[in-house]
Amino acid sequence: MERCHPLKLFLFLLLSTSFFAGHVAVAGEQFMPDGVLRVCSDPNNLPFSNKKGEGFENKIAELFAQRLGWKLEYIYFPQRMGFIRNTLRFKLPGERFSCDLVMGIPADYDQASPTRPYFHSAYAIVVSNEKATAGISSEAEFLALPKPALESMKIGVQVQSPAALWLMQNGLLEQAVAYPMLNADPEYYAGQIVERDLAGGKIDAVLLWGPIAGFFSGRVNSKPLAVIPLHSVIGNQLDFGIAMGVRQEDKAWKEKVQTLIDDNQAEIRNILTQYHVPLRDQPQTQHLTLTDSMQNKK
């Protein structure tokens, strides 16, 4: 199955009533790490993390370890359903927890105790900066393209995501090229939609979570690409705050992590910028109704 970032799981399963139906074990007394920063991570999930330490979560973890003067260690597990249970909350009898910090979770995630958000981003549409979409730099400009141009497009989207609802709200569902949110191939990653299908001309645009859209668009050299963040509308949130997560009971450790975030916000933002993450100061809701949104098609 595809290795998915926790945020992706949260977003992709928004419409599912069975989201995180499982339970995790109840932890015991509070624990404060000392001398080793143990991070729960995915071994192959760029731009977030990988075993080579090439993701932005890896770089932020390195920054924290340096500030603390601690050794940095990772516990790797594919980030899909069961990730928290098998990492942050995994503990054999008589032993310590496997790891103590998840570097990226939704700000309202309930399977761990989230810090305050350390960045905000949004779903984005990636288009080729040529032909019909040359010079397009905003969501409004994309939706204002001539009707024949929009109707001829093939737009990649991962099913059961807010992006799929965005297509429906804007009358573009017929243009959708569906991609699964999970994949049986362990080497598959969502960025392939940009690197392979969009760059190769199989599709004309793709809707992806912002950090993925920005990072993989930056790796394409065969054609110019534009990354256009989307705005939330009533009934469809498209921008989200991202936090770090610890165990619910580890309040002192959470305070320490929050201090690290607060004291290093400029460095964190610089790292995210280097990875072409579309950043917003905070989640923004553009107060449009479904009817308002559909007016763009007339």
Per-residue pLDDT of the chain (298 residues; tens, 9 = 90+): 444 454 444 444 443 433 333 334 444 456 677 899 999 999 989 999 999 999 999 999 999 999 999 999 999 998 877 899 999 999 999 889 999 999 999 999 999 999 999 999 999 999 998 889 999 999 999 999 999 999 999 999 999 899 999 999 999 999 999 998 877 677 788 999 999 999 999 999 999 999 999 999 999 999 999 999 999 999 999 999 999 999 999 999 999 999 999 999 999 999 999 999 999 987 655 443 333 333 333 3
Q: Are 215 and 59 in contact (CB under 8 A)?
A: no
**Rounded Cα–Cα distance for residues 60 and 36 (Å):** 15
Please compute, for residue 136, the number of CA atoms within 13 A of its CA located in the half-sphere on the CB side: 27
**Are residues 2 and 188 in contact, defined by beta-carbon separation less than 8 angstroms?**
yes
Q: Which residues pair with 19 in a beta bridge?
A: none
Residue with tokens 């995915």: 42
Label the pairing between strands 49-50 and 44-45: antiparallel
Cβ 236 vs Cβ 169: under 8 Å: yes
Q: Which of 95, 100, 121, 98 is nearest to 112 (CA)?
A: 100
* Backbone phi, psi, residue 55, to 5°: -90, 165
